[in-house]
Structure 1
Amino acid sequence: MTITNGYKQNENEKELDILNLPALEQEAQKIIPTGGFGYIAGGSEDEWTLHANRTAFQHKQIVPKALSDIEDPQTDTRVFNLDLKTPIMMAPAAAQGLAHVKGEIDTAAGVAAAGGLMAQSTYSSTSIADTAEAGNGAPQFFQLYMSKDWNFNESLLDEAKKAGVKGIILTVDATVDGYREADIINHFQFPIPMANLTKFSEGDGKGKGIGEIYASAAQKIGPKDVARIIQYTDLPVIVKGIESAEDALYAIGAGAAGIYVSNHGGRQLNGGPASFDVLTDVASAVNHRVPIIFDSGVRRGSDVFKALAAGADLVAIGRPAIYGLALGGAQGVTSVFNHLNDELKIIMQLAGTKTIEDVKHAPLLDIKY
């Protein structure tokens, strides 16, 4: 156990014996301090959208196919010109030092060991360079929370390019922070410095609440900003926080190389739709022009299958991986990815799908309870 500014950080490093990913949350709550856990687990307002993210997967069902003459399904895939062992990736999630002393360094190592794609956040506990190095050459994306200060944005983008990231994820649904009651109840302030903020005028993030962190964020983001980042970095830019066909088309029109369907895990606009419920409409508008990443509420292999069949090319997880990080460090993260991948393979076999490309063409039944 390491204590930083009075906050207890776990040092666990072990493989996890996982029954299912939902069960990890209760186990992680036992060891992550209350304020940190509330920040990680909480949603906005009464968390209606957070819970809808889970129940939305019940709105479509997988068609069983028993006479498909297949065995040993394969989860490898190629997206954004990257060869991956799994279509499951790590969502960009802030302040992972709240869960484990090594934070994003262990997450990056764990995702790399599972053959997945890592995305690191602007508000990481560890630096862009250190997180990239921990991946040992495995592909990574960098997620930008765009600041009002373009010098700051360019500084981060320069570091990301130098670190060898393969793409930039521009988050556009967090121009203000959602009204997260757990943080208010816990009087939560970030106890762990945010490495990407320590060297700049915005301070280190330590001792600040989420509202203060977001105060420096750009409130006005439009297609011209997408185009500006593409021009500056000459990297693929994926626009995250898309939940409408209209926004998807704006992003593609500005040159986006990918669309990221997400409602921030229910942490921003409460009362908005579950991400899975809008995925098909967004995918229809995109019409295979660029790849689609999906997140929000993914906990089961069947969720991954449904998201891929509904139009996603990659499916991201956040909280479950962070709970794995808290319980087992890098090995815990790998355990989470491997467990979800194993569940996905079972579903693929029972649905008669040999490859991820087969899954993308699998039918889903529209049945709403």
Structure 2
Amino acid sequence: MAAPKGLINVMDYQAAAKRALPRMLYDFVAGGALDEQTAFRNRSGFGDWWLRGRSFRSSSDVSLRRDLLGGTLSFPLMLAPTGASGLLWPFGEVEAARAAAAKGIVMQVSAGSLQSMEEIAAASDGDKWLQLFLYRDRGLTLEFLERARLAGYRAICVTTDAPVHGRRDRDSRNGFSIDRKLTPGTLVDVAWHYRWWLRMARTPRFAMKNFAGRSTGNMVDMAAYISSVLDPDVTWDDFSWLRDHWSGPVIVKGILDPQDALEAIGRGADAVQVSNHGGRQLDGTLASIDALPAVAEAVGGRVPVLLDGGVSRGTDIVKAVALGADACVIGRAHLWGLAVAGARGVEAVLDILEQEMRNAMTIGGWKSLSELDRASVMRLPPSSL
């Protein structure tokens, strides 16, 4: 689909989203933990890798399709689980689900979405995986598994790197609260972004519907409840317990260490996702692209390897695939599109990334994803740049 006028790459969408959103909401999406070193490195780390194209091997018929865990991606990209994305655009999770289905890719649905998992599942016939945490109340975890099964989710994506919420200075400074109530500190900010306010004011009161009935309808109280049920004391035995209660594919999200990847496989994981939660949890931890090569080497093709963190160009996807990823997963990139134009904006961002990837593979002489390998990229030390 055609992108809104003047927006030709993901960074353009980010700039447009910054203009469209109140500052506290933009910072909630853009920000990372503490000094945001990991969030920055997630993006900049791709710049250390350089593509080594081949001569006289270009093709007008490049294939980007990827078979993955019993499904097929039109190109090797997915939408990450992004909590409360319905704050950016009315019914934002539903809008994103429709865009993902239109592009033929998977949506990983956040347990912390404003719409319920059932509403998001019903929004499109696209392939969806549900993000899941191991909650203190294992009964709640089992309830989510059963609801996911009944709603038609094909896989479960277990997040391992958020036993507690990371410390995000931007949110603390802004007094960010997941609510629509105006305070003196936010009134001027919202006034400057009145179009967002008018658009959102016509939607039902915000609620994290997956947790309906377990706290009051107030968003602040619900967010506090969700924080209270996260379990910081989980072990690999707890993962094995979950594996025993789900018959479909299980993906372990939050892998940075090769030994953890091997443990996940040994415990029955069907895929691993190299991730640091977008740099929003532990600052100073490895960037995803820096952790990928060692994880992919340890996995050795036994299960698919996914990567999220910093992907904002089609060439980033090419590099990640060459380094051993079967597919990439985007969070902030699709949220910028959502904030600008709802489903239309998400689909436009996906179009951009697909077109950039196809262009790079045509020029570089790779006719299919299987032709991308470590020989396709070279890492140059910073001193040589």
Q: Which amino acid aligns with 1:265?
A: G
The residue aligned with 1:214 is 227
Q: CA deviation at 1:209?
A: 8.8
The residue aligned with 2:264 is 251
The residue aligned with 2:284 is 271
Q: CA deviation at 1:214?
A: 2.2
Q: CA deviation at 1:194?
A: 0.8
C-alpha distance in 2 between matches for 1:204 and 1:230: 32
The structure 2 residue matched to 1:53, chosen from 42, 65, 70, is: 42
Q: Which amino acid aligns with 2:149?
A: K
C-alpha distance in 2 between matches for 1:205 and 1:272: 34
The residue aligned with 1:11 is none
The structure 2 residue matched to 1:292, chosen from 285, 297, 305, is: 305
Residues 1:336 and 1:75: Cα distance change in structure 2 (over 3 Å): same
Is 1:125 aligned to 2:142, yes or no?
no
What secondary structure is seen at the aligned counterpart in 2 of 1:233? Answer: coil
The residue aligned with 1:89 is 78
Is 1:39 aligned to 2:38, yes or no?
no
Aligned pairs (5 A) from 1:98-117? 98-117=87-106
Are the counterparts in 2 of residues 64 and 352 from structure 1 also a CA contact under 8 Å?
yes
Residues 1:205 and 1:63: Cα distance change in structure 2 (over 3 Å): farther
Deviations 1:173-193 (A, max 9, x none): 000111101111111121231
Q: Which amino acid aligns with 1:130?
A: E
Q: CA deviation at 1:97?
A: 1.0
Residues 1:219 and 1:284: Cα distance change in structure 2 (over 3 Å): same
C-alpha distance in 1 between matches for 2:356 and 2:142: 41
What secondary structure is seen at the aligned counterpart in 2 of 1:293? Answer: strand
The residue aligned with 1:197 is 211
Deviations 1:80-137 (A, max 9, x none): 11012111110111001111111100000011111111110100011111111112x2
Q: CA deviation at 1:36?
A: 2.0
The residue aligned with 1:148 is 136
Is 1:165 aligned to 2:178, yes or no?
no
Are the counterparts in 1 of residues 53 and 363 from structure 2 also a CA contact under 8 Å?
yes
Are the counterparts in 2 of residues 174 and 268 from structure 1 also a CA contact under 8 Å?
yes
- Give unpaired runs (5+ residues) of structure 2: 180-205
Q: Which amino acid aligns with 1:21?
A: V
Q: CA deviation at 1:208?
A: 4.4
Q: Which amino acid aligns with 1:207?
A: V
Q: Which amino acid aligns with 1:66?
A: S
The structure 1 residue matched to 2:238, chosen from 222, 225, 232, is: 225
Is 1:16 aligned to 2:29, yes or no?
no
What secondary structure is seen at the aligned counterpart in 1 of 2:381? Answer: coil
Q: CA deviation at 1:71?
A: 2.1
C-alpha distance in 2 between matches for 1:74 and 1:270: 37
The residue aligned with 2:252 is 239
The residue aligned with 2:184 is none
Is 1:138 aligned to 2:132, yes or no?
no
Are the counterparts in 2 of residues 92 and 121 from structure 1 also a CA contact under 8 Å?
yes
- Give unpaired runs (5+ residues) of structure 1: 1-13
Give the TM-score taking structure 1 as reference length.
Answer: 0.92
The residue aligned with 1:80 is 69
C-alpha distance in 2 between matches for 1:129 and 1:360: 39
Give the TM-score taking structure 2 as reference length.
Answer: 0.88
C-alpha distance in 2 between matches for 1:267 and 1:141: 21
Q: Which amino acid aligns with 1:357?
A: S
C-alpha distance in 2 between matches for 1:87 and 1:205: 38
Q: CA deviation at 1:204?
A: 4.9
Deviations 1:259-307 (A, max 9, x none): 0000111101101111100100000111111101101000001101001
Aligned pairs (5 A) from 1:176-187? 176-187=164-175
Select the structure of larger CA radius of gyration. Answer: 2
Are the counterparts in 1 of residues 215 and 222 from structure 2 also a CA contact under 8 Å?
no
Q: CA deviation at 1:75?
A: 1.3
Give the stretch that moved more between structures: 357-366 or 99-108: 357-366
The residue aligned with 1:6 is none
What secondary structure is seen at the aligned counterpart in 2 of 1:72? Answer: coil
Are the counterparts in 1 of residues 255 and 272 from structure 2 also a CA contact under 8 Å?
yes
C-alpha distance in 2 between matches for 1:226 and 1:360: 32
Q: CA deviation at 1:361?
A: 6.3
| RMSD of Structure 2 on Structure 1 (CA) | 1.7
Deviations 1:295-340 (A, max 9, x none): 1000001101001111111101011101101111111111110110
The count of residues paired between Structure 1 and Structure 2 equals: 354
